[in-house]
């Protein structure tokens, strides 16, 4: 028997998983949780690029991005609650938080962020909401009355104050969006017992992938909604978004690879177990899918779209396809981190297997429903908050 | 603010410990039978001075657990005792026993079928090279001095008592599983019946009544030892203060386990 062959036999036989590690405790719900919060944070950043950094070409999506963020934010805690063994006690995290826990702050950061986002939306939309209130009747009129907080004052003075408030909210919103998602990364990055998670790069990677998924989500849904409703697409806006997407994705992908590379290069006693994980149970989902297909292709494709002069048609078509690929890439990344990290037993001598169930409490069907809900809410919100400036009665009035 | 939260949590903990003392939480039948029906005094005190302890926390004692790897015969009695004591659901383990086999090419093979519950009655036959060495390693909660599980619990359901035990208040636990991820030793699990975190408690309810942990009690070769380090006559004190080969698991995690191993081998994780 050759030594290599002997080594292979030994690896197969030495696969030892601690008995309690055979079960993967954090499953699909905890994959979705950072995915959804990431989309929220990313979409908010798109909106802030216009509201704070005055990237004028992003104006067409600046309001839509906020509503998009709100639709996903509304369901960010859903997977968490489904995952908890005792969801009825969830409020304890906010009532009696343990100050040392990296998880206890989530409720606060999440709620503070929700308040900022909602206020931002109400103030940015105020002229629109006032105009809509005047046009509408019955229940809708009452709804708009509530949303405008009863104030019809659209004097230049009042609007200037509004503008100051929105600029301030958007400005504090950026660090909050970054905190929200950097923090979610830290929930994993702070687990010293798990060598795959415990890296200071984790919050950085989570934040970058959040931005990427938010921008990609906006491009993808913007094009889809506009096409579906037969409205014109602002190509300048799409091209700018693609450039931002490419820029963020360069950073994101490079950091993801750097993380892997530094594990491999330092080759501490953890590396052997990590390597077995990447070439073993994560081979298809990480090496082939996440890196090989859904990172490399968008990486090159977005570069071409950003640098080469191409027709609007091509940019729109490929921009949409590549954005969708990025959305898949980020979902795969969440899967590989959350599930992958748990597959490696803390025995560092082997790995468990995990196949999600279809109909279980945290299974595939429930996951699909959770991903559909924000989209349904987005549709509902579109009935109340016009996404696009060309549908906006307040804008019509101003230009008339 | 923080103070009042801590007070609120600690009130709960006191109530929890009272329930432990009253026997309404976990424990063998013997201890659940109300006092009077079977007087505790009729069972000899196994931990000297314990029954003099009153009040919510044990004062003046510092407990340690020692596992002697050179003694363990892998019979699985401790696992059986533990499973019975706590009705541990199948597939979850508060304690388990691992079998290590090292061949003459220095390959290390470890297994722990069913957590060692059935005992290791047959040698492994699937190994390609002659066996050089073999031994058993019982595992349980390390009762860390710096427990990661306590650090991460978002609601303070997992807590460290003033007497150094790490316990779980299952009326407070939200079942998030963060502690399961954070424990470097994988001794925790989410109990499928209660949907809360669960783990070895070193039989806190027995210790409070002056009795040894169930697993220590049943071990036929005294591979598991438990006692008070402040009692210089105790066996654990003597072992830790005499020239023995003693170590802890994963010392670089910084958790400072109170569970020590005699004869721990470098192959053991
Ligand atoms: S061994 Fe794990 S469960 Fe026990 S105290 Fe240490 S960290 Fe907590
Ligand atoms: S599962 Fe329970 S004990 Fe563990 S961290 Fe969550 S709330 Fe705390």
3-state secondary structure B217-228: HHCCCCCEEEEE
Judge whether residue B30 has pLDDT over 70. Answer: no
Structure tokens at A346: 């803390």
pLDDT band at B20; cut points 50, 70, 90: low
Flag the least confident range among A88-92, A184-188, B21-25, B184-188: B21-25
What pLDDT score does B53 carry?
76
Mean pLDDT for B117-121 is: 95
Q: Which ligand is nearest to the CA of B254?
A: 1
Flag the least confident range among A22-26, B33-37, B93-97, B169-173: B33-37
Residues A183, A38 share a domain: yes
In CATH terms, the fold of domain B50-145+199-262 is: Alpha-Beta Plaits (3.30.70)
Q: Is the CB of B101 under 6 A from ligand 1?
A: no
pLDDT band at B29; cut points 50, 70, 90: very low
In the predicted model, residues of chain A with pLDDT beneath 50 are 1-10, 399-400
Percent of residues, chain B, with pLDDT higher than 90: 70
Residues A133, A264 share a domain: no
Mean pLDDT for B203-208 is: 92
Structure tokens at B73: 């015969």
Contacts A–B by Cβ distance under 8 A: 148
* A31 part of a folded domain: yes
Residues A364, A335 share a domain: no
* A374 part of a folded domain: yes
CA A164 vs CA A108, A160, A161, A167: distances in Å: 25, 6, 5, 5
- Compute the distance between CA of residue A332 and CA of residue A365 in angstroms, rounded to an integer: 17
Residues A243, A306 share a domain: yes
Residues A71, A185 share a domain: yes
What pLDDT score does A3 carry?
39
**Which atom of ligand 1 has the smallest separation from the CA of B160?**
5
Residues A364, A349 share a domain: no
* A212 part of a folded domain: no
Q: What's the pLDDT tens digit per position in B124-145?
A: 888 999 999 999 999 999 999 9
User: Mapping DSSP to helix (H, G, I), strand (E, B) and coil, where does residue B260 land?
Assistant: strand
* A80 part of a folded domain: yes
Sequence ranges of the domains in chain B: 1-33, 50-145+199-262
Residues A67, A31 share a domain: yes
Domains in chain A, number:
2
Q: What is the nearest CA distance from B112 to chain A, expressed in angstroms?
A: 7
Judge whether residue B6 has pLDDT over 70. Answer: no
Contact assignment for B155 to A192 by CB distance below 8 Å: no
The continuous run of DSSP H or E covering A193 comes out as: none
**DSSP-H helix ranges across A284-392:** 296-307, 312-343, 364-384
Find chain A residues with C-beta within 8 A of B8's C-beta: 96
* A51 part of a folded domain: yes
Residues A311, A286 share a domain: yes
Contact assignment for B196 to A86 by CB distance below 8 Å: yes
Q: What's the pLDDT tens digit per position in B217-234?
A: 999 999 999 999 999 999
CB of A348 within 8 Å of a chain B CB? The answer is: yes
Residues A394, A292 share a domain: no
**Given B109, B112, B181, which is nearest A191 (Cβ)?**
B181
Q: Is the CB of B156 under 6 A from ligand 2?
A: no
What pLDDT score does A151 carry?
83
* A179 part of a folded domain: yes
Judge whether residue B269 has pLDDT over 70. Answer: yes
CATH number at residue A156: 1.20.1630
Q: What's the pLDDT tens digit per position in B53-105?
A: 777 777 778 999 999 999 999 999 999 999 999 999 999 999 999 999 999 99
Q: What's the pLDDT tens digit per position in A44-54?
A: 999 999 998 99
Residues A128, A82 share a domain: yes
CB atoms within 10 A of CB B47: 23
What pLDDT score does A15 carry?
85
* A303 part of a folded domain: yes
Q: Nearest chain A Cα to B171, which residue?
A: A89
Find chain B residues with C-beta within 8 A of A10's C-beta: 105, 107, 109, 128
pTM (predicted TM-score): 0.90
- How many separate helices (H) and strands (E) can be counted in chain A? 16, 0
Mean pLDDT for B23-44 is: 54
What pLDDT score does B125 carry?
86
Residues A163, A64 share a domain: yes
ipTM of the shown complex: 0.90
C-alpha angle A22-A24-A28 in degrees, rounded to nearest 5? 155
Range of the domain at A184: 25-189+358-400
Residues A98, A162 share a domain: yes
* A7 part of a folded domain: no
What is the distance in angstroms between the CA of the first residue and the CA of the last residue of chain B? 41
Cβ pair A88, A76 in contact under 8 A: no
Judge whether residue B188 has pLDDT over 80. Answer: yes
């Amino acid at each position: 028997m050759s030594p290599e062959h002997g080594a292979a036999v030994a690896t197969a036989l030495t696969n030892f998983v601690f008995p309690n590690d055979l079960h993967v405790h954090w499953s699909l719900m905890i994959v979705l949780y950072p995915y959804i919060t990431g989309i929220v944070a990313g979409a908010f950043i798109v909106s802030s690029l216009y509201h704070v950094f005055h990237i004028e070409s992003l104006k067409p999506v600046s309001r839509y991005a906020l509503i998009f963020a709100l639709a996903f934010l509304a369901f960010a805690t859903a997977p968490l609650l489904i995952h908890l063994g005792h969801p009825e006690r969830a409020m304890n995290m906010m009532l009696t938080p343990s100050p040392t826990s990296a998880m206890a702050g989530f409720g606060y950061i999440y709620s503070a962020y929700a308040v900022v986002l909602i206020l931002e939306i109400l103030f940015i939309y105020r002229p629109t909401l006032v105009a809509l209130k005047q046009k509408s009747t019955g229940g809708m009129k009452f709804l708009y009355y509530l949303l405008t907080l009863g104030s019809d004052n659209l004097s230049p003075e009042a609007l200037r104050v509004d503008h100051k408030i929105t600029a301030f909210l958007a400005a504090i919103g950026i660090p909050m969006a970054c905190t929200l998602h950097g923090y979610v990364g830290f929930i994993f990055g702070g687990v010293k017992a798990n060598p795959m998670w415990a890296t200071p790069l984790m919050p950085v990677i989570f934040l970058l992938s959040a931005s990427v998924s938010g921008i990609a989500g906006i491009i993808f849904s913007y094009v889809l909604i506009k096409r579906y409703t037969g409205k014109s697409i602002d190509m300048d806006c799409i091209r700018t978004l693609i450039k931002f997407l490419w820029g963020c994705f360069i950073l994101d992908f490079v950091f993801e690879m750097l993380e892997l590379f530094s594990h491999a290069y330092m080759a501490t006693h953890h590396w052997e177990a990590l390597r077995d994980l990447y070439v073993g149970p994560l081979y298809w989902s990480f090496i082939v899918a996440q890196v090989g297909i859904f990172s490399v292709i968008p990486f090159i494709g977005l570069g071409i779209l950003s640098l080469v002069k191409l027709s609007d048609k091509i940019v729109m078509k490929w921009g949409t396809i590549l954005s969708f690929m990025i959305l898949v890439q980020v979902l795969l990344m969440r899967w590989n981190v959350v599930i992958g990290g748990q597959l490696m037993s803390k025995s560092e001598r082997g790995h468990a297997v995990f196949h999600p169930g279809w109909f279980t409490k945290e299974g595939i069907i429930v996951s699909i429903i959770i991903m559909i809900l924000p989209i349904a809410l987005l549709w509902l919100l579109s009935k109340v908050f016009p996404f696009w400036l060309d549908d906006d009665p307040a804008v019509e009035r101003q230009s008339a | 603010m923080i103070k009042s939260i801590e007070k609120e949590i600690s009130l709960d903990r006191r109530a929890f410990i009272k329930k432990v003392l009253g026997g309404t939480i976990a424990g063998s039948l013997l201890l659940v039978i109300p006092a009077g029906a079977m007087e505790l005094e009729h069972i000899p005190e196994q931990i000297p001075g314990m029954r003099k302890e009153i009040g919510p926390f044990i004062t003046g004692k510092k407990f340690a657990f020692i596992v002697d790897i050179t003694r363990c015969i892998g019979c699985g009695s401790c696992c059986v005792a533990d499973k019975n004591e706590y009705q541990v659901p199948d597939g979850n383990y508060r304690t388990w026993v691992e079998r290590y086999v090292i061949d003459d090419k220095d390959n290390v093979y470890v297994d722990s079928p069913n957590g060692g519950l059935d005992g290791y009655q047959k040698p492994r036959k699937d190994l390609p090279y002659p066996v050089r060495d073999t031994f058993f390693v019982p595992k349980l909660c390390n009762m860390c001095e710096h427990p990661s599980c306590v650090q991460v619990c978002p609601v303070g359901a997992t807590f460290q008592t003033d007497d150094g035990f790490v316990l779980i208040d299952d009326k407070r636990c939200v079942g998030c599983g963060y502690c399961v991820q954070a424990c470097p030793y994988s001794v925790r699990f989410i109990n499928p019946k209660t949907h809360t975190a669960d783990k070895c408690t070193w039989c806190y309810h027995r210790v409070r009544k002056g009795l040894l942990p169930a697993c220590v009690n049943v071990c036929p070769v005294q591979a598991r030892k438990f006692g008070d380090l402040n009692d210089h006559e105790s066996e654990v004190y003597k072992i830790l203060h005499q020239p023995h080969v003693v170590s802890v698991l994963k010392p670089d995690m910084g958790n400072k386990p109170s569970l020590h191993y005699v004869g721990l081998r470098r192959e053991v994780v």
